[in-house]
Structure 1
Amino acid sequence: METILIIEDNSEMQQLLIKVLSSHYHIVSAYSGTEGLLLFSQKSVDLVLLDRMLPGKSGDEVLVELRQHTKIPIIILTALDTHADVAKLLLAGANDYMIKPFEIEELQARISVQLRDHAPQQKNTVVKYKKITLLPDTFSVTNGMKTEQLKKKEFEILNVLITHPKQIFTREQLYRKVWQAEYYDDDNTMNVHLSNLRKVLLKLDSDNEYIATVWGIGVKLA
């Protein structure tokens, strides 16, 4: 399930968006530009809905900062609709925009299009290593008798390691490759994903190690 970060200071709009979108996406919400940037640095986010008129840092400023760290799709929510405003937003890195008030069905469609167009290209070839097989169509892994569902990023981490069997990845290198975003030294996201991934692999194959820690450097395929 993809994660959407909503940065919107209007509580009624926030609640509406959460209610409508939470059945299809994991939602993370912020009420200011500063809070939104902080949450983005802490969470794995697939798309941002960004209000332009925010307290503190404006949506324009947040857009510029986000584009310094990520290429994920950003949809601007704005009450301004002049050609100059729209051009400014697109040139600054926005992928799309919605003019308030908008139809929620159209927003849902635009979100779906952006996530589809920016989804990592997965090869549908089956990847095998030791006793497990990766199933890219479902982001799952199997030992032939039992199948475990992985989170999208966990699957991508494992796929990167297996397809680069001799390479040692620092956590920063692995994060950048999988999330395609800036890595923050105090970010615990990678450690959590690696820990969860190891637990799943242990369920499928208790006889073999798949992810080895190279002390002082990072991780590699065992």
Structure 2
Amino acid sequence: MAKILVVEDNEDINEILKNLLLGEHQVIQAYSGTEATLLFKQEIFDLVLLDIMLPGKDGGQVLQEIRQSSQVPVLMITAIGDKQSVTQYLLNGANDYITKPFDGDEVKARIQVQLRQTMSQELAGSKRQEYGHIELDSQTFTVSGPLGQVSLRKKEYDIFQLLLDHPKQIFTKEKLYEQIWQDVYLPGDNTLNAHLSNLRKKLKEVDDCHEYIETIWGLGIRLKEWQSS
């Protein structure tokens, strides 16, 4: 069962889409672009149905914000007959589109195609990466060790994966923040420190005998060189 975000300001159409998908999928509804972007930051979705004409942020703006942090499948909902406009959304990162008035079976089929492709890509790209006594699973966002397994938040996973991919590199806070959040680091922002602290605690939960992340004072953060004991 996939978790689908339906973004449509027309309450009747929003309800039609919800009823069409319920039973097979979990459906979360949004009625404006602003509401959609807030929900997307708070929850993880498997697919987004996104209307183009929305109050607040329009569908193009929402798509742009989604693509800054996620490759989740996005299907645009449009009543626009101009193929050139639809093509531009596809070039900007949309996966497909449906045109109002739409056929329910076609909507379900297009959703199924996107979910199937995503699953295939995830299976093909899934990997488990070992370092020291722990193992990082890219499919489940979990880290395992001698003491068990814990789940990582997406940003915690991204930080640790980046360090594993560049084991000898020292990352300044600014560089690490910009790599993970794709945004400018502001001095005094405690977001990175909080995520690093949580990540360290979780790594300690699965292996309390070793340190995996070290701070090089005056320089930054890096993966601690593995020394067996």
Distance 1:142 1:69, change over 3 A: closer
Note the C-alpha offset of 1:112. 0.9
Equivalent position of 2:227 in the other structure = none
Counterpart CA distance in 1 for 2:11 and 2:217 is: 46
User: Counterpart of 2:206?
Assistant: 204
Work out the percentage of aligned pairs sharing the same amino acid.
40
Q: Secondary structure at the match of 1:133?
A: strand
What is the CA deviation profile of residues 65-95 of structure 1, one whole-angstrom value per residue up to 9, with x for unaligned ones?
4388457243212234553443343244422
User: What count of residue pairs does the alignment treat as equivalent?
Assistant: 214
Aligned partner of 2:79 in structure 1 is 79
Gap runs ≥5 in structure 1? none
Decide which moves more: 13-22 or 47-56. 13-22
Change (3 A) 1:139 1:52: same
Q: Distance in 2 between matches of 1:133 and 1:206?
A: 14
Offset, 1:207: 2.7
Gaps of 5+ in 2: 225-229
1:140 corresponds to 2:152: no
TM-score normalized with structure 2 length: 0.65
1:163–1:90 CA distance, 2 compared to 1 (3 A) = closer
SS of the aligned residue for 2:135 comes to strand
State the match for 2:55 in structure 1. Answer: 55
- Cα distance in structure 2, aligned partners of 1:212 and 1:38: 34
User: After superposition, where does 1:72-151 map in structure 2 within 5 Å?
Assistant: 72=71, 73-81=73-81, 83-100=83-100, 101=102, 102-103=104-105, 105-113=108-116, 115-116=118-119, 119=122, 122=125, 124=127, 126-129=129-132, 131-136=133-138, 138-144=140-146, 146-151=148-153
More RCO (CA 8 Å, sep 6+): 1
TM-score (norm 1): 0.66
Q: CA offsets, 1:97-130, max 9 Å, x none? A: 123434353243144145347659746364222x
Structure 1 residue 66 corresponds to structure 2 residue 68: no
SS of corresponding position for 1:212: strand
Distance 1:118 1:161 in 2: 23
Q: 2:26: which partner in 1?
A: 22
* Structure 2 Cα separation of the partners of residues 197 and 61 of structure 1: 32
- Aligned positions of 1:116-195 closer than 5 A: 116=119, 119=122, 122=125, 124=127, 126-129=129-132, 131-136=133-138, 138-144=140-146, 146-151=148-153, 153-170=155-172, 173-174=175-176, 177=179, 182-183=182-183, 185=185, 193-195=195-197
* In structure 1, distance between residues paired with 2:146 and 2:178: 31
Question: What do you get for the CA RMSD once the two structures are aligned?
Answer: 4.3
Deviation of 1:160 (Å): 2.1
Contact preservation (8 Å) 2:3, 2:26: no
